[in-house]
């Protein structure tokens, strides 16, 4: 028989495997398993190709998790890297056939087929799911060569964990968008201002694969911040009087490994720290300092998103407008008409109005635009200024990059 196999050393999350009885059982029985980017890979699966040769492929399953714990598989479908397995006669196995098309889950996970075999009770754990599919796929190969086996007991070497997350991102793997989510990798994001909108921006950015997130704000986290920011601060949090950047770093470091606190304001003395930014979010209500920052960003061709929100009282109701203005090296001639460099004393939002829903919407609009520039979302409009008027519920997109 012809064997198409290569000796390989695979990396995996050893701690995750040890904590999961079903994954540990697979490993202890000699299966070459690997956990990567929300997927479980089982390598060296013997199967028969159309030429009646014994080849080796890889089974791939999404990994269903609750926190750091592996739970029961969410479905019965499994994927395969290799030719479509055949019977020992060379005819395609039709009993488990589901779909045959190339799908790219990540840079190094490209599958060609998916299989479907659903027992009446489903699969209670990954051990049962994996061993059942291994049995079905490998049986024809074993009938041709008794020495063919998926259990190699090959030594496993743990490589350095390069994920930016504290735990596996199963959200992207469940949707099979790991390849698209990877577009954020390597980016260094700066957020200036954590009073309200900036904190919601952090909440959204921390859930992406950016390399670093740098937080700048010289204020402390106080009671009024708690009512216009994501999450629910405790009394103890407020009594600690932590700097905003330290407070948010503590919280979001539970999820993202590379968040950096800079508990001070940006000024001409330290503005050079921004030079390494890939993208910058400007979320400050003291607009007098914006010109210095924006001039620096434009001179260094750093794209940025300036968020603004103006609220006033009319007839015992609040009216106002949200704004997201984007500046890039290609499009910045509109900035003078969109961004005020003087503080507005009539803007009640800057004094005593705290509105978490408007802060969060402002942040969402800014983050969506960032994701468009990053290639995550399609951008057919290429707008560089977006406003939302609350009382008429109107969203306007202007300053198109032509």
Instruction: Give the residue from 383, 349, 56, 380 showing the smallest Cα distance to 224.
Output: 349
Q: Are residues 231 and 141 in the same domain?
A: no
Q: In this structure, is residue 116 part of a structural domain?
A: yes
Instruction: Give the residue from 217, 168, 172 showing the smallest Cα distance to 190.
Output: 217
Would the pTM of this model clear 0.85, i.e. be above it? no
Q: Are residues 203 and 139 in the same domain?
A: no
Query: How far is residue 115's CA from residue 99's CA, in Å, rounded to a whole number?
Result: 7
CA distances from 374 to 154, 189, 397 (A): 40, 12, 19
* Whole-number pLDDT of residue 2: 39
Query: How far is residue 206's CA from residue 253's CA, in Å, rounded to a whole number?
Result: 9
Q: In this structure, is residue 175 part of a structural domain?
A: no
Burial of 288 (0-12, 13-18, 19+ CB in 10 A): exposed
Total domain count, the chain: 2
How confident is the model over 73-129, as pLDDT tens digits?
989 999 999 999 999 999 999 999 999 999 999 888 999 999 999 999 999 999 999
Residue 241 pLDDT greater than 70, yes or no? yes
Q: In this structure, is residue 168 part of a structural domain?
A: no
* Whole-number pLDDT of residue 9: 32
CA 5 to chain centre: 34
How confident is the model over 305-318, as pLDDT tens digits?
999 988 888 889 99
How confident is the model over 160-176, as pLDDT tens digits?
457 898 877 767 766 77
Return the structure tokens found at 275: 């030079």
* Whole-number pLDDT of residue 169: 77
Positive or negative, the CA dihedral 12, 18, 20, 22 is positive
226-229 — which CB contacts under 8 Å span 24+ positions?
A: 227/354, 227/356, 228/195, 228/196, 228/354, 228/355, 228/356, 228/359, 229/194, 229/195, 229/196, 229/199, 229/200, 229/356, 229/359
Tell me the residue range of the domain where 361 lies.
Answer: 185-400
CB 190 within 8 A of CB 205: no
Using 50, 70 and 90 to split pLDDT, how confident is the model at 13?
low
More confident call, 13 vs 25: 25
Using 50, 70 and 90 to split pLDDT, how confident is the model at 381?
very high
Residue 371 pLDDT greater than 90, yes or no? yes
Partners of residue 324 on adjacent β-strands: 307, 386
Residues 152-158 have a mean pLDDT of: 67
How confident is the model over 312-341, as pLDDT tens digits?
888 899 998 999 999 999 999 999 999 987
Q: Are residues 23 and 96 in the same domain?
A: yes
* Whole-number pLDDT of residue 5: 36
């Amino acid at each position: 028989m012809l064997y198409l196999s290569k000796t390989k050393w695979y990396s995996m999350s050893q701690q995750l495997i040890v904590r999961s009885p079903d994954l540990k059982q697979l490993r202890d029985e000699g299966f070459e398993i690997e956990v990567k980017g929300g997927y479980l890979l089982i390598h060296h699966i013997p199967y028969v190709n159309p030429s009646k040769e014994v080849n080796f492929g890889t089974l791939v399953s999404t990994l269903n998790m609750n926190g750091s714990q592996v739970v029961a598989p969410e479905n019965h479908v499994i994927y395969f890297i290799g030719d479509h397995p055949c019977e020992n006669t060379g005819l395609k196995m039709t009993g488990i056939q589901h779909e045959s098309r190339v799908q790219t889950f990540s840079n190094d996970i490209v599958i060609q087929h998916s299989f479907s075999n659903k027992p009446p009770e489903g699969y209670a754990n990954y051990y049962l799911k994996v061993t059942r599919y291994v049995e079905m796929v490998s049986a024809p190969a074993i009938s041709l060569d008794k020495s063919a086996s998926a259990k190699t007991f090959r030594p496993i070497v743990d490589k350095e964990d390069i994920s930016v997350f504290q735990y596996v991102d199963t959200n992207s793997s469940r949707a099979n968008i790991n390849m698209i989510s990877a577009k954020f990798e390597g980016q260094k994001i700066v957020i200036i201002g954590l009073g309200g909108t900036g904190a919601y921006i952090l909440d959204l950015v921390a859930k992406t694969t950016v390399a670093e997130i740098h937080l700048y704000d010289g204020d402390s986290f106080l009671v009024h911040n708690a009512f216009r920011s994501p999450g629910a601060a405790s009394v103890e949090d407020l009594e600690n009087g932590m700097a905003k950047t330290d407070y948010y770093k503590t919280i979001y470091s539970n999820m993202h490994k590379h968040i950096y606190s800079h508990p001070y304001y940006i000024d001409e003395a330290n503005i050079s720290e921004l030079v390494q930014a890939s993208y910058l979010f400007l979320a400050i209500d003291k607009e007098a300092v914006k010109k210095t920052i924006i001039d620096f960003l434009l001179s260094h061709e750093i794209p940025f998103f300036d968020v603004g929100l103006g609220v006033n009282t009319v007839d015992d109701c609040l009216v106002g407008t949200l704004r997201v203005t984007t500046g890039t090296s290609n499009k910045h001639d509109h900035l003078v008409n969109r961004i005020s460099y003087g503080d507005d004393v009539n803007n009640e939002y800057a004094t005593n109005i705290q509105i978490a829903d408007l802060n969060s919407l402002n942040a969402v609009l800014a983050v969506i635009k960032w994701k468009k520039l990053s290639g995550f979302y399609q951008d057919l409009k290429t707008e560089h200024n977006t406003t939302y008027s609350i009382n008429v519920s109107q969203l306007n997109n202007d300053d198109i990059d032509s």
